[in-house]
Amino acid sequence: MTVAVSAEGLSFSYGERQALKGVDFSIEEGRVHGFLGPNGSGKSTLFKILATILPIQGGTANLLGNDLRGDLRALRKRIGVVFQSPALDRKLTLRQNLVYGGHLQGLRGAELNRRVDEMLAIGRLSERAGEKVESLSGGLRRRVELAKGMLHKPDLLLLDEPSTGLDPGARKDLWSFLQSQKNLTVLFTTHLMDEAEVAEELTILHEGEIVAVGTPASLKAEIGDEILEIDAVHPESLAAKIEKSSGLKAQIFGSRLHIQSPKAQDLIAELMREDRQEVDRIAISRPSLEDVFILKTGHRFWEGSEEAK
């Protein structure tokens, strides 16, 4: 397999604040790769660097065989970028937006028209081609953005929070379309657990560092055990007690205990028997990506976003 995107020791700071603290990764060609992290995890900065709009400050990165510190023009012809914030001209029609987008990629004439028609058809937008973008719903606009990003048949597609504004049906369409594209490497960022599930491979970011890499299934399997969540009356003392009796480590988030256990049922039975009055609520579940995040960072996923604000 060929490597499509790689980075070594990639770092970036906004003044004093270090947004990326030297990350290394390598993504194979043809994969759908997700970067999952809460706001402030550095994923947007990483996205902007890979999209060639932020310069590299430290480390190296290579996209499709092009060093990001080198000449970017050849590379830009081969990547498609869809930003989270709209990059369409609201006052222009859908077709005009695509035509101008095509011109910027060097497409023109009959070939451009053919590609525009093709992408409009794929996005099921043909009938509305003559309407102004401002009259479209958020989901439709998103599809136009994607059509624009794919117009020049890029080898690498970069998507920043691709599901923003999409309803579940449109989201499904988007991913089945992307997964059907042969030889297209897709790299996307997200802060949504369920969106991260569609990735073939996932990199989890936290505070500018990579905390886990793997397929969503393997990351969850790494936990193996089941997850117990307990809302406790006295979380500290209950955690200490459980740790003493069973040797299991309980992480405390407010009044909630988070325990990873191979024998969750036994633990529940024990708690019901001995500490019934200490427990407000108890839940058992298979590990989710959020549990992976908690295990790797010791933080809840959304705590990170609050810190970042």
Partner 1 sequence: MGLAVFSLWHREVVRFLTDRSRVFSSVGQPIIFWLLFAGALNQSSFRPGDMSYGEYFFPGTLAMIVLFTAIFSTITVIEDRKEGFLQSVLVSPVPRSAIALGKIMGASTLALGHGLVFFLLAPFAGVPIDLMSGLASFAVLFLIALALTGLGFTLAWVMDSTAGYHGIMMLFLMPMLLLSGAFFPAVGAHPLMAFLMAANPLTYGVAALRYAFYGAGSEATLGLPAQWLCLLVSVAFALVTFSLATWVVLRRSSKVAQ
Q: Please report, as ranges, the residues that interact with partner 1 according to CB under 8 A.
A: 12, 14, 48, 51-55, 57, 73-74, 76-77, 79, 81, 83, 85-89, 91-92, 96, 100-101, 103-106, 108, 132, 148
Q: Give every CB contact of residue 119 below 8 A, 6+ residues apart in sequence.
A: 98, 147, 148, 150, 151
CB of 306 to partner 1, least distance (A): 21
Matching residue, tokens 């970069």: 158
Q: Which is nearer to partner 1, 10 or 248 (CB)?
A: 10
Q: Where are the alpha helices (DSSP H) in 181-263?
A: 193-196, 216-223, 235-246
Other C-beta atoms closer than 10 Å to the C-beta of 56 total 16
CB of 257 to partner 1, least distance (A): 40
Matching residue, tokens 């490497």: 185
Q: Are strands 3-14 and 250-253 parallel, antiparallel or unpaired?
A: unpaired
CB of 156 to partner 1, least distance (A): 12
Q: Which is nearer to partner 1, 101 or 216 (CB)?
A: 101
CB of 22 to partner 1, least distance (A): 17
Main-chain phi, psi angles of 204, to 5 degrees: -100, 125
Matching residue, tokens 């990059």: 87
Q: Which is nearer to partner 1, 131 or 278 (CB)?
A: 131
CB of 14 to partner 1, least distance (A): 7
Matching residue, tokens 């594209």: 181
Q: Which is nearer to partner 1, 79 or 205 (CB)?
A: 79
- Report how far residue 261's alpha carbon sits from residue 263's, in angstroms, rounded to the nearest whole number: 5
Would you put residue 247 in left (φ > 0), alpha (ψ -120 to 50) or beta?
A: left
Q: Are strands 156-160 and 185-190 parallel, antiparallel or unpaired?
A: parallel
Other C-beta atoms closer than 10 Å to the C-beta of 3 total 13
CB of 92 to partner 1, least distance (A): 6
Q: Which is nearer to partner 1, 23 or 157 (CB)?
A: 157
Q: Which is nearer to partner 1, 88 or 136 (CB)?
A: 88
Q: Which is nearer to partner 1, 146 or 294 (CB)?
A: 146
CB of 211 to partner 1, least distance (A): 25
- Report how far residue 38's alpha carbon sits from residue 249's, in angstroms, rounded to the nearest whole number: 25
Displacement of CA 176 from its chain's centroid (Å): 16
